[in-house]
Chain A
Amino acid sequence: MAIYLLLFAGIFMGWSLGTNDGANAFGTAVATGVVKYRTAITIIAIFVVIGAFLQGEGNLMKVAELATGNEVMASEAAVQKAVAEGTADKLVLKSAIKAAIVFTCAAVTVFIMSYLKFPVSANQSITGAIVGWGLLHADYSDPALRASLLGQLGKFASTWLLNPLGAAIISFAVIKLANKFLIPRLTRLSNYDKLVKVGYLIAGGFASYSIGMNSSANVTALYYGEVIDGVQTNLLSSGRVAATIGGIAIAIGVLTYSKKVMMTVGSSIAPLTQIEGFLVIIAMALTIVIMGNTMNIPVSTSQAVVGAVVGAGLTKSWRCVNFGVFKNIAIAWVSSPVGAGLLTYLVALATKTWFA
């Protein structure tokens, strides 16, 4: 049972994701007093777990696939060999330790970068950490494996661009539609307020669902392994259970330590009107759900929010947009995977003999 303690590295990652990502769902609403903090965290916790349970598995499989190619998780051939040799227990232990190392390196990178006030993405850090491990352990000389990995990495990297860009386009369209069809129908001040309140509750719930669906893979994907010939090959053998545990870890982060970040994020989006505030969150959630359903790759919710805010600004004029925010995203594209990759590579180097 002690082996399950290794899950804590991923759960810690999920907890820290929860403390940050909860703010993207309800930050503005809580900071402006539209929704009470307790109501917000209850809704987030419930919908994050539902999102992870219903749709978290897709992203989880994709991350697991990347991890397998980079030797963080055992390949099918290695698993079958271990099963045949009766060393599956040892394989499970090694896989769980590798997962814990990768998650810890990604989490430490996020912590250090955040401490240094450097733009950072947890998703991109995990991708970098997986590749960092693979640089030392994977055999890239095999052309087939190389081609497959390059394809996977290309897909991951393309979401980094598509995510903020898609969020900007969706936000632009949603706000334009609202300006044309919804806002002109508001005849009473009380209706305006009701729309804002209901809008934030719906947007927050939807965003929480999308976070559960999107980010649960970043918590437990590396602990997942199929059951082969009745033998368990990693700590968690059900994709759905793994994703749900990820969702619960994120929910715990939201419930225990999200208030401070929620207030900070809420205030920083203040230039938006209240109606634009919840439309931006809906646009962010829509982007994440679309990305999840089409590419099955976890994306950065923070970068989706930035893209959506830019889209909201563009509905007025391109002059309203501070394109400098994209600089932070670009820095995170480089700093997160490189930082986590480098750290994981160094740890992999130090532990090479044990995993050889």
Chain B
Amino acid sequence: MLIFNNKNPKVAKCFADHHEDVVGCLEKFEEFIKASFAATPDKDKMSSLKTAVDNCENAADGELRHDVDLMSESFLPATRSSLISIVQSTDEVANICQEVTRQIMLEKIALPASLHDDVLEIISITKAQLAILYVAIEKLFNDYKSIFNDRKILDDIRSEESKVDSIEAMLHTRVFELDLSLCEKIYYRDLIEDICDLSDTIEDIADQIQIMLIEREA
């Protein structure tokens, strides 16, 4: 029974651990992309970074399962459902990182050099966005009143996503201006979209937190 159990601080800690694994995954992902953008990509380095991304993703999966188990007797059902949805969406960030690294390795994709800086900029913004999300989730657990009364932090997450959207649109245009076959253009565009999905997913989590707060508004 909720009023007698003491699992809630453990859930908050498990959320933080999971988030740390996802952040680690995104950092390794960034290193992997940078390695793939080298003039002569080091296949061994890329392979070991891909393994690092896989390991972080596996660790995140483990924490996710632990989170769900812990929540089975914690919080009210509505809160539990919202929190599980938030942690699952956060886990999706790690899944996307793993999927993109796997695709680049297996399909030996080499994005044109003219796109590199902007792709790295997207990843950098996404990292900043994930860091803000971490603060928002921490506040949700431990400083509920502040995020309930001031939701600017959620707007900040959305504003980072808007920046990614602008770069994505610009990259989309530039890909189709390159002297490539239509097939290559579509291929690169899809890869860039996959990388931008990281930011979209984080924005979705901000929306889920907003909905959770609205449901509790007096």
**Which residues of chain A have a CB within 8 Å of any CB of chain B?**
32-34, 175, 179, 183-184, 186-194, 196-198, 201, 273-276, 315-316
> B141 in the interface, Cβ–Cβ < 8 Å?
yes
Complex interface: chain A residues within 8 A of B77 (CB): 32-34
Type the 1/0 row for B117-147, where 1 means its CB is closer than 8 Å to any CB of A: 0000000000000000000000011111100
Pick the contact of B144 from A189, A197, A198, A316 — CB < 8 Å? A189
Complex interface: chain B residues within 8 A of A275 (CB): 216, 218
Determine how close the nearest CB of chain A comes to the CB of B4; give it in whole angstroms: 10
Query: Do B145 and A187 have beta carbons less than 8 Å apart?
Result: yes
Query: Do B76 and A274 have beta carbons less than 8 Å apart?
Result: yes
With A33-B77, A189-B79, A194-B2 in contact, do A273 and B143 touch (Cβ < 8 Å)?
Answer: no
Query: Do B218 and A193 have beta carbons less than 8 Å apart?
Result: no
Query: Do B75 and A190 have beta carbons less than 8 Å apart?
Result: yes
> B78 in the interface, Cβ–Cβ < 8 Å?
yes
With A34-B76, A183-B218, A273-B217 in contact, do A189 and B3 touch (Cβ < 8 Å)?
Answer: no
Determine how close the nearest CB of chain A comes to the CB of B36; give it in whole angstroms: 40
Main secondary structure of the interface of B (DSSP, over half): helix
Complex interface: chain B residues within 8 A of A193 (CB): 2, 8, 75-76, 79
Query: Do B141 and A197 have beta carbons less than 8 Å apart?
Result: no
Closest B-chain residue to A29, C-beta based?
B76
Query: Do B142 and A192 have beta carbons less than 8 Å apart?
Result: no
Query: Do B218 and A276 have beta carbons less than 8 Å apart?
Result: yes
Q: What are the nearest 10 A-B pairs in CB distance?
A: A33-B77, A190-B8, A193-B76, A189-B144, A193-B75, A197-B2, A187-B145, A189-B141, A193-B79, A34-B76
Closest B-chain residue to A316, C-beta based?
B218
> B150 in the interface, Cβ–Cβ < 8 Å?
no
Would you mind naming 15 contact pairs between A and B with Cβ atoms under 8 Å apart? A32-B77, A33-B76, A187-B143, A188-B142, A190-B8, A192-B144, A193-B2, A193-B75, A193-B76, A194-B2, A194-B3, A196-B76, A197-B3, A275-B216, A275-B218
Closest A-chain residue to B6, C-beta based?
A190
Query: Do A273 and B142 have beta carbons less than 8 Å apart?
Result: no
> B215 in the interface, Cβ–Cβ < 8 Å?
yes
* Assembly CA distance A166 to B77 (angstroms): 33
Complex interface: chain A residues within 8 A of B216 (CB): 192, 273-275
* Assembly CA distance A340 to B57 (angstroms): 69
Complex interface: chain B residues within 8 A of A190 (CB): 8-9, 12, 74-75, 141
Could you list 19 further interchain pairs (A-B, Cβ under 8 angstroms) beyond the known A187-B145, A197-B76? A32-B76, A33-B76, A34-B76, A175-B218, A184-B145, A186-B145, A187-B143, A189-B8, A189-B141, A190-B141, A191-B144, A193-B2, A193-B75, A193-B79, A197-B2, A273-B216, A273-B217, A274-B78, A275-B216
**Segment 70-87 of B: residues with Cβ below 8 Å from A:** 74-79
**Segment 34-92 of B: residues with Cβ below 8 Å from A:** 74-79
Determine how close the nearest CB of chain B comes to the CB of A305; give it in whole angstroms: 19
Closest A-chain residue to B143, C-beta based?
A187
Determine how close the nearest CB of chain A comes to the CB of B121; give it in whole angstroms: 34
Type the 1/0 row for B1-37, where 1 means its CB is closer than 8 Å to any CB of A: 0110000110010000000000000000000000000
Complex interface: chain A residues within 8 A of B76 (CB): 32-34, 193, 196-197, 274
Complex interface: chain A residues within 8 A of B144 (CB): 186-189, 191-192
Determine how close the nearest CB of chain A comes to the CB of B200; give it in whole angstroms: 25
* Assembly CA distance A192 to B141 (angstroms): 10
Complex interface: chain A residues within 8 A of B142 (CB): 187-188
